Amino acid sequence: MTSILSDFDKLANGILASGGDSSPSELHGFACGVLAAGARPDTRRWQDELGQLLDLDAVPADLSAEFKRVAEGGLAQLEDRNFDFQLLLPEDGGITERTLALGQWCQGFLHGFGVGGYQGELPSSSKEALEDISAISQVDADTADEGEEAENQLLQVAEFARVAVMNIFADTAPPAKTSGGKTLH
């Protein structure tokens, strides 16, 4: 599996080359939101959704393939029992840039969850988590202060969002497919 930074850079380069209007964080959040709503990776659906999200008439094949790969990686992380799921955020840059990326990730997640069309009643914990993610998505990066305390706060909020998404996914994930009474893994 490639590193988070490598995924971020590949998506950023693909978006830039296509003339799309989004960030890698928002795209990853979107994919994770669709997954949390119960949808699973599908080449045609991802390409259609990606085109709409990036406001492109046609999505270049390499960007579509990269997005699908990142989405499939997100699904594998969300399904992993080791809780290795990570938000796709830039590792470098100033606090303002990274705070903005976290807000974009959360916006993408909420959009994806809506597009994914979850059917069913959400447990109250997931409803609260979605409200919290919504609040994080409204972050005002211009008010972010530089310094160690701000760095710690950003890490704590990102960790909170990460755990909230894993909990939502656990509450909404379709049951594992079974064969002959046995669970397939």
Helix, strand and coil content of the chain, in percent to the nearest 5, comes to 65, 0, 30
For the entire predicted model, the pTM comes to 0.87
pLDDT score, position 58: 85
pLDDT tens by residue, the chain, 185 residues: 345 557 788 888 889 998 888 899 999 999 999 999 988 877 777 788 888 888 888 888 888 888 888 889 999 999 988 888 999 999 888 888 899 999 999 999 999 999 888 888 999 999 999 999 999 999 876 666 677 888 899 999 999 999 999 999 999 977 655 444 444 44
Contact between 74 and 4 under an 8 Å Cβ cutoff? The reply is no
Which residues on neighbouring strands pair with residue 182, listed in sequence order? 179
Could you count the other beta carbons within 10 Å of the beta carbon of residue 171?
16
pLDDT score, position 178: 46
Tokens for 152, please give them: 């710690």
Three-state DSSP class for residue 2: coil
Distance separating alpha carbons of residues 32 and 110, to the nearest angstrom: 9
Distance separating alpha carbons of residues 40 and 116, to the nearest angstrom: 9
Identify the CATH assignment for 4-174 out of 3.40.50.1110, 1.20.120.740, 3.30.1600.10, 1.10.4030.10: 1.20.120.740
Token pair 């380069």: residue: 13
pLDDT score, position 96: 86
Residue 120 DSSP class: S
Domain boundaries, the chain: 4-174
Nearest 5°: phi and psi at 179?
A: -140, 115
Q: What is the CA radius of gyration of the chain?
A: 16
pLDDT score, position 89: 93
